[in-house]
Amino acid sequence: MIRPVILAVDDDAEVLNAVGRDLRARFGRDYRIVKASSAAEALGVTKELKRRGAPVALFVVDERMPEMRGTEFLVKALEMFPDARRVLLTAYADTQSAIDAINEIRLDRYLVKPWQPPEELLYPHLEELLDEWSAQAGPLLEGIRVAGTALSSSTFAVKRFLSANQIPYQWSDIDTDPSMRALVEAVEPGLSRLPVVFYPDGTTLVQPTPRELAEQSNLDTRPKQRFYDLVIVGGGPAGLAAAVYGASEGLATLLVERDAPGGQAGTSSFIENYLGFPEGLTGADLARRATAQARRLGAEILTAQEVVRVRRNDPYRVVELADGSELSCYVVVIASGMEVRRLEVPGLEEYVGTGVYYGSALTEATLYRDKDVVVVGGANSAGQGALFFSRDARIVTVLLRGPDLGHSMSQYLVDRINETANVIVRPNSIVVGAHGSGRLESIDVQDTLTGETRTRPAAAMFIFIGTAPRTAMVAELVERDEQGFILTGRDVMPEGRRPKGWTPERDPFLFETSVPGLFAVGDARHGSGKRVAAAVGEGSATVSAVHEYLRTV
């Protein structure tokens, strides 16, 4: 929580000190008292506060200042903080201009100097105004502010990265917040690169990359050591489970995550089948809990850092990172999961982030309140997405290639969808075109039985059409199946023969790949369960084999 600001402005140093002292004595615990000795200085301070996302609750301003009247200052300052309460300090002779200001700037109070004793003439007025202000403002978050336009792929990417990493931020749409627009224009004239991210320490990032955001948000992006017992590639459920067990059992453990911990599960709007959570839990909640647990037990977690290649340099394994640096370790666990498949429709890619989203895009749901949206896909993730978006959207249309939902969706989700009045299911349907100027507006849907194509309005389309393994970083090192899933355990021993180049006097462990000391768990592994619990089970179980392996190196 942050302390909102009370800004006192007076060109008379003695009066300014007195007002500052009195304000601090009564309000200093809950509010930050900031003083300015001229209107120009006060405008500069107000701009900076706005830039840093620090809320101003109250302006206490002298009316008679040489270069600008208090009322004129307030007109400008209120453009930036329209909800702040406003009080003028006047001499008896100036009361008429204060009375005029009541209409001009909706002045809340004017106080005639001197205000002694403050207990009677100052505090009661200000307390009432501050109570009103805080009731209206609600709880305040210390904050990062993201300012941009609502339908923009780069703004979407920034908001998604921050929320996936559980970093709170305030969102300002510059199309509806003119004062924020002015601040953004000051940083990025022409507004060609958006969004602009303002940090409380005054740092400003323009259209930042995930790495820049991670570094500025104090997430770890670089390893603390050069050598680890165990390096885990990927921070989904499988990788996080391996990190929890590895670190808790005393291994120097590093987890490297290219985006944000949580993986696919982190994007799930509601997980209902994970053991021990009878009420269900969101993917974000699961990710937050697991990440905190892994860190508490001593695992190091890097975010916005990608593993591009894993090499063998016996007895060590070498992990190459996207920034060109390298790490050495005894054991690598690949828990890199899967990535979403793209929908191959001409012209679709230009709308990604401006109406077309892969996966749940939970941060964007409220943009489509009372609008008609489309969900593409017929598996559980599409079902969860449809139910999630049905809370805000007017109509959610689920398009599926197959004849009915029961084919690939769990029955509990099918039942829930059938009970939800604003979710419509259209089987035998594929998307063949997308249109809109600057943002998605409509799609062409073909009926696969009749071949007929119809154009349907669609403010947004959320696509859940399956996934492919992310295993390129070990493509040259380990054996994979034809789809790219990594083979492990018995699958690397066709007809009972150990893999080529295998040196240990034992068969590969359950989740060990064709390279000793290199394990694969979770969705990236051939034959895995493709469920959160399965991934967690594999990630946890593999650590005992890691110990066995470590006894031999």
Which one among 440, 532, 545, 546 touches ligand FAD, defined by CB under 6 A? Answer: 532
Binding-site string for ligand FAD from residue 461 to residue 480, where x marks contact by CB under 6 A and - marks none: ---------x--x-------
Which residues, other chains included, contact 29 with Cβ-Cβ below 8 Å and sequence gap of 6+?
A: none
Shortest reach from residue 227's CB to ligand FAD, in Å: 19
Residue placing its CB nearer to ligand FAD in the complex, 509 or 511 = 511
Cis peptide before 508 (omega within 30 of 0): no
Query: Can you say how many angstroms the Cα of residue 541 is from the centroid of all Cα atoms in its chain?
Result: 30
Residue placing its CB nearer to ligand FAD in the complex, 158 or 233 = 233
Residue placing its CB nearer to ligand FAD in the complex, 180 or 271 = 271
Which residues, other chains included, contact 414 with Cβ-Cβ below 8 Å and sequence gap of 6+?
A: 383, 405, 406
| Terminal Cα distance for the chain, rounded | 50
Shortest reach from residue 398's CB to ligand FAD, in Å: 14
Residue placing its CB nearer to ligand FAD in the complex, 236 or 436 = 236
Asked if 523 interacts with ligand FAD (CB under 6 A), we say yes
Q: Residue 511: name the closest of 503, 500, 523 by CA.
A: 523
Binding-site string for ligand FAD from residue 296 to residue 325, where x marks contact by CB under 6 A and - marks none: ----------xx------------------
* Beta-carbon count within 10 A of 97 CB: 17
Rounded CA-CA distance 499/37 in Å is 78
Rounded CA-CA distance 253/138 in Å is 41
Residue placing its CB nearer to ligand FAD in the complex, 78 or 473 = 473
Q: ∠462-467-468 over CA atoms, to 5°?
A: 150
Return the structure tokens found at 26: 């009564």
Shortest reach from residue 257's CB to ligand FAD, in Å: 5
Rounded CA-CA distance 146/450 in Å is 47
Query: Stretches 51-59, 154-162, 232-240, 349-357: which one binds ligand FAD (CB under 6 A)?
Result: 232-240
Residue placing its CB nearer to ligand FAD in the complex, 219 or 535 = 535
Distances in whole angstroms, Cα of residue 3 to Cα of each of 8, 57, 225: 15, 10, 38
Shortest reach from residue 362's CB to ligand FAD, in Å: 10
Residues 366-405 that bind ligand FAD (CB under 6 A): 380-381, 384
Residue placing its CB nearer to ligand FAD in the complex, 84 or 524 = 524
Helix intervals (H) in 359-444 = 380-390, 411-419
Which one among 179, 221, 336, 429 touches ligand FAD, defined by CB under 6 A? Answer: 336
Rounded CA-CA distance 448/426 in Å is 11
Helix (H) or strand (E) holding 334: strand 326-334
Return the structure tokens found at 436: 């809109």
Residues 246-305 that bind ligand FAD (CB under 6 A): 256-259, 263-265, 267-268, 271, 273
Which one among 195, 236, 517, 537 touches ligand FAD, defined by CB under 6 A? Answer: 236
Greatest Cα pair distance in the chain? 102
Residue placing its CB nearer to ligand FAD in the complex, 133 or 368 = 368
Binding interface with ligand FAD (CB under 6 A): 233-239, 256-259, 263-265, 267-268, 271, 273, 306-307, 335-338, 359-360, 380-381, 384, 470, 473, 522-523, 530-533, 535
